[in-house]
A and B are shown apart, each in its own frame.
Chain A
Amino acid sequence: MKNLKILLIGQPNVGKSSLLNALVGPRVTVSNYPGTTVEITKAKKKINNTEIEFVDTPGIYSISDRSEEEKVTEKALFEENEDGAITIVDATSLERSFYMILQILEARVPTVLALNFAEDAEKKGIKINCKKLEKLLGVPVVLINPITKTGIDKLVDAILKIKKATRQGFEVEYNDHIEGAINKISSQIKKTFIPKRFIALRVLEGDEDFYKYLKDEKVIRDAKKSLKDHSKVAEDISITRYGTASFIAEKVTQIIPVEKEKKFEEKVDQILLHKTWGPFTTILFLLVVFGALLYLGNSIQGILMGLTESFLSSFGTAEHSIIAMVLIQGLTGLAAGVSIALPYVFLFYLLLGLLEDIGLLSRFIVNAERFLKKIGLPGKSFIPLALGFGCTAPATRATRVLSSKKEQFHTASLFAFVPCSSRIAIIMGVVGFYGGIKLAFSVFVTLLIAGLIWAFGIKKVIHVKSEPLLLELPPFRKPLVKNVLAKSWIRMRDFVYIVMPLLVIGGIAYGILDILGLVNIIVEPLSPITTWLGLPAVIIIPLVFGFLQKDLTGAMLLSVLGSKISLTLTSLQIYTFGVASTIGIPCIIALGILIKEFGVKKAITLTASSIIYGLLFAGLAWRIISIF
C-alpha cells in the first residue's frame, strides 16, 4: 500500500471546503473556514491501493508570512513533507490565482491545478483554454465542480500520478538586478530540500521565516542590510510576478462580451453596506438570529430537559451512598451541558455558519468594524466576539484569526461581557423568570455598559494598533447544507470534547465539596462580597461554584434559597445577582483555554480582574439605581 500526502491550497472563498467534501466524503468532513480557524486539518481516504492524506490549509492569497493564515500555510508547505499539492483556482479571477501558483511553482512543489467556478466564469463571458494553460504552466489542469462532483475522478487520477509529475514548471524571470540578487543569496544557503531560488526570493521579499535557511548570522545581517538599501526590490518582484500572472491569464482566456448581468447583488450591497441602513440591517439580522435561537433553543431544551430529568430521577431513588451522590452531581453537570448548552450552542453556530456561507457575515464585519475600531478592536474580531454568544471556550480559540497576540488578548478580555449560552440562561432563566423580561433586558444593558467602559479602559492600557480593514466581500451564494453542518460541528468540537467533560468534573468537584461540608465554609469569610452586593450571605455559593460550572448557577441558587426566589429577593437583588454572576470570565473551562492561548499569568490576571470588576460594577449599579 502506498501513501500520499497532498496539500490543499487556495484563496479564501475558492471552494476548498466543498472540494474536500467531494474528495473525502461527508463522513470525514474536516475543514477550516475563513475567519474562524487558522489550523490545518487532515483527512484520509483510501483510493485504489493508495492512502491519500489530504491536508487542508487556511485560505490565503499568496505564500507569505504576514498573516496568521499565511504563516500556517507556509509552514504546512515546507514542513509537512507533502508529496504534492492541489491548488484550487477561481476561474472568475485567474490572474489573481496565478500569482500564488507562480509562487508554488517557484517552490517546485508538484501541483495539480483544480479550476473551480468555470460555469460562473462562462456566465461572465470568460472562456478558459485548459490545454493551453496546461502547456504553458507545465502542470496538469482539471476542471472541477465540487457540488456536482464533476472532475473529481480526474483530479484523483492526477493526484495519484503526482509523484511522477515534474517538479519544474513555468518560472518567472525577474529583472537582472533581481536575478543578480537571487544568485548572490542562493550561494549562501544551507542544504535543504527547498529550492534555493525560492528561498532567495522569499528572503528578498522580506520573509523572516526564511532567514533560518541562510548559512550564518553574517549572511542574514548582509541580507537585512541590502534589503534596507533596496526597499523597492520586494515591490518589483510582486509587480513582475503579477504581470506574469496576468500575461498567462490573458493567454489562456477568451473574453466573450456578455449582456450585463443583473445588478441585483449590487443593489443588495447598497443596502447592506449603507452607512445607516448597514448597521441597522446587521443588528436586525442578529436580533432575528437570537430570536430564532431563543425560540428553537427553548423548545429543544424543553424536550432534552424532560429526558435528562427523568433519567436523573431514576438515580434519585437509588441508595444515597457517597459515591452515588458525587456521581449524580457529575451527571447533573453533563445533563446541564446536554440540555441547556448543546442545543443552544449548536443552533447558534449553525445559524452563524449559514450567514457566513451566504456571504452576509463579511458584510456584517464591515458594519461592525466602524464600532469595534472605536474600542480599539479590528473588524476581524467580530467573528470571535459573535461566537462568544455561543460558548466562551471555542470563541477564545477563534481569536487566533487576529494577527497579533495583543489583539487576541484584547478581544478575549471582552468575553467577560459577551454572555455565553450559560450566562444567557442565567439572565433569561433566573432574572427573566423571577424578575420579568424588563429586568433581564436591563441586565443585558448593564453588561453592554460595563463592557464598553472596560474596553475603553483596556484600550488605554494595552495600546493596540489594530490592522486596517482589508477584506474580500464574497459573492452571495446558496449555502451548502452539508458544509454548514460540518462547519458547525467543527466549532462545536471544542465544546463537546473539552467543555462537556469539564462540566462533569465540575459537577463531581461540587459534589465532593458538598459532601465534605466545605461548601458552607466559604459563606462566612466571603460575606463582605455579599454585603457589598446587598445580597443574602448564602448567595455566595452559586456565585463561587458557578465558576466551576456556570450552568448550575441557577440550580444552586434554588437549592440555597428555596423555590420562592421572588419572595426572598427583591427585583433589585435579582438584578444584582444577574449582573454579578454574568460579568467576568465565566468559568474554569474558559480559564483553561485562556491559559492555553495566553499563558498562566495573563489568563489568571484577566480572569481575576474581570470577576472583581464585575462584582464592583454590580455593587455600584444597584447603589446608583436605588438612589432613584
Chain B
Amino acid sequence: MIKEPEVLKIVKEDILEVLGRKSKKIPLKLMKLEISVSQFFVSKAINELEREDLIKLSLEEKYGKQYIQLTKRGQNRAKDIIKKHLILEEYFKKRMSGKKAIKATNILEHYISTEVVDVIKKLSTFKKKGIPLTRFKKEEGLITNINFSIGLFERLISMGIYPGGKIRIINRVPNGVIIKIKNKKFVLDKDIAKEIKVLEYKNPTL
C-alpha cells in the first residue's frame, strides 16, 4: 500500500520525466492524460512542482489552453530522472524480457534510493560481470551477481548480501572468505564465495 506523499513524489517525477523527454512545452490536458493516476494527484503535483520552481505554467491566448514546461532547474532535474530510468532499464533488461523490464523500471525508479542507482550505474557501465569472490584480490568490491538457486539466494539476500552491495574483504581463511557488508561481518564458504561475482569498487567516502 502506497501512502499519499509517495504517490505525489512518483507523479512529480513522472511529470518531469515526460516533459524532459518531449523537451518542449505541452498542453496541460495532454499531461493529465499521460500520467495515469487520479486528476487530484496530478493537479496537486503540478502545484508543488510550480512552487519548487521546476516547471512553469503559461496560458497560450491563441489556443485558449494552459501549457506546461520545464524551468532551467526543472530541466536539470528531468535529465537526472531520465538517466536514472535508463540505467534501471538497462539493468533490468539483462534480467528479464523487454516489456517486463520497462514495467519493473517504471515501478522501481521511484523507489530506489540514489545510492542503489549509483551502484547499478556502476554495474551497468562495467561490461564484464565481475570475478568470483574467491579470486578477487582487492580489499573493496561491489557484488555484481549472485549465482544461486532460490534457497541460498534468499538466505544471502535476507542476510544483507545482495547484488549491488559494497563489500569489504576482511580476511581470507583456507575454507572461505570473511567479508563485511553494511556493518555486518560474515564468513562465506569457498563454495558460496565462488558463486558471488565481484568487481573492484572504491568508494571515496568509505
Q: How far is the CA of A242 from the CA of B115 in the complex (A)?
A: 14
**Contacting pair B178 A99 (CB below 8 A):** no
Question: CA separation between A543 and B176, bound complex, in Å?
Answer: 44
The reply to whether B3 and A93 contact each other, CB–CB distance below 8 Å, is: no
Tell me whether A51 is interfacial, beta carbon within 8 Å.
Answer: no
Complex interface: chain B residues within 8 A of A250 (CB):
113, 115
Question: Among A177, A205, A367, which residue has its beta carbon within 8 angstroms of that of B150?
Answer: A205
- Interface contact B178-A93, CB-CB below 8 Å: no
**Known pairs A177-B100, A242-B162; A269 contacts B154 (CB<8 A):** no
Of residues 76 to 114 in B, which have CB atoms within 8 Å of A's CB atoms? 95-96, 100, 103-104, 107-108, 111-113
Is B126 on the interface with A (CB-CB < 8 A)?
Answer: no
Would you give the shortest CB distance from B124 to chain A, in whole angstroms?
A: 15
Q: Do B176 and A93 touch across chains, with their CB atoms under 8 A apart?
A: no
Give the residues from 104 to 147 in chain B that come closer than 8 angstroms, CB to CB, to chain A: 104, 107-108, 111-113, 115-116
Please give, as numbers and ranges, the residues of chain A lying within 8 Å of B189 by CB-CB distance: 468-470
State whether B157 touches A99 (Cβ < 8 A): yes
A122 to B: closest C-beta gap in Å: 13
* A247 contacts across to B, CB distance below 8 A: 111-113
Q: For A240, what are the chain B residues with a Cβ–Cβ distance below 8 Å?
A: 108
A366 to B175, CA, bound (A): 8
Does A173 have its Cβ within 8 Å of any Cβ on chain B? yes
Find residues 222-270 in chain A having any chain B CB closer than 8 Å to their own CB. 231-232, 234-236, 238-240, 242-244, 246-247, 250, 257, 266, 269-270
Please tell me if the beta carbons of A473 and B103 are within 8 angstroms of each other in the complex: no
A370 touches B1 (CB 8 A): no
Partner of B173, one of A168, A206, A235, A278: A278
| Nearest A residue (CB) for B153 | A235
Known A66-B155, A99-B158, A469-B187; contact A269-B170, beta-carbon cutoff 8 A: yes
B20 CB to nearest chain A CB (Å): 23
Report the minimum CB–CB distance from A116 to chain B (whole Å): 14
Type the 1/0 row for A256-293, where 1 means its CB is closer than 8 Å to any CB of B: 01000000001001100111001000000000000000
The size of the chain A interface, using a CB distance under 8 A, is 60
Contact A96 B159, beta carbon cutoff 8 Å = yes
CB-CB contacts of B161-175 with A at 8 A, as 1s and 0s?
Answer: 011000000111111
> What residues of chain B lie closer than 8 Å to A269, measured between beta carbons?
170-171, 178, 185
B22 within 8 A of A: no
| Among candidates B112, B113, B173, residue contacting A275 with C-beta atoms closer than 8 Å | B173
Q: How far is the CA of A175 from the CA of B111 in the complex (A)?
A: 13
B199 at the interface (CB under 8 A from A): no
Contact with B along A61-105 (1 / 0, CB 8 A): 110101100000000000000000000000011011001100000
Q: A235 to B183, alpha carbons, bound, how many Å?
A: 24
A319 interface hit (Cβ, 8 Å): no
Tell me if A239 and B162 are in contact (CB < 8 A).
yes
A471 within 8 A of B: yes
A243 to B113, CA, bound (A): 9
Cross-chain contact A370 with B174 (CB below 8 angstroms): yes
Closest to B101 in A: A175
Tell me the bound Cα distance from A313 to B111 in angstroms.
78
Q: How far is the CB of A35 from chain B (nearest CB, A)?
A: 14
B184 at the interface (CB under 8 A from A): yes
Instruction: Tell whether B7 is near chain A: CB-to-CB under 8 Å.
Output: no
Interface residues of A in 143-175 (CB under 8 A from B): 168-171, 173, 175
Give bound CA distance, A370 to B174, whole Å: 7
User: Whole-angstrom distance from the CB of A269 to the nearest CB of chain B?
Assistant: 6
Whether a CB of chain B sits under 8 angstroms from the CB of A522 is no
Please tell me if the beta carbons of A273 and B154 are within 8 angstroms of each other in the complex.
no
Given A64-B154, A242-B162, the answer on whether A473 and B115 have CB atoms closer than 8 Å is no
Is A270 a contact partner of B158 (Cβ separation < 8 A)? no
With A93-B184, A238-B153 in contact, do A61 and B159 touch (Cβ < 8 Å)? yes
Interface residues of B (CB under 8 A from A): 1-3, 95-96, 100, 103-104, 107-108, 111-113, 115-116, 149-160, 162-163, 170-176, 178, 182-192, 205
- Known interface pairs A250-B115, A469-B187; 10 further A-B residue pairs with C-beta atoms within 8 A, sorted by A's residue number: A93-B182, A95-B160, A234-B153, A238-B150, A250-B113, A270-B171, A367-B173, A469-B175, A473-B178, A473-B186
Instruction: List chain A positions with a Cβ less than 8 A from chain B.
Output: 61-62, 64, 66-67, 92-93, 95-96, 99-100, 124, 135-136, 138, 168-171, 173, 175-177, 205-206, 231-232, 234-236, 238-240, 242-244, 246-247, 250, 257, 266, 269-270, 273-275, 278, 366-367, 369-370, 373, 468-475
The 3 residue pairs across chains A and B that have the minimum distance between CB atoms: A468-B189, A62-B158, A96-B160
Can you identify 23 A-B contacts, CB atoms within 8 angstroms? Answer: A61-B158, A64-B158, A92-B184, A93-B184, A96-B182, A138-B1, A175-B96, A176-B100, A205-B150, A206-B150, A231-B149, A232-B95, A234-B154, A236-B95, A236-B96, A238-B150, A243-B116, A246-B116, A274-B173, A369-B175, A468-B192, A469-B176, A470-B189
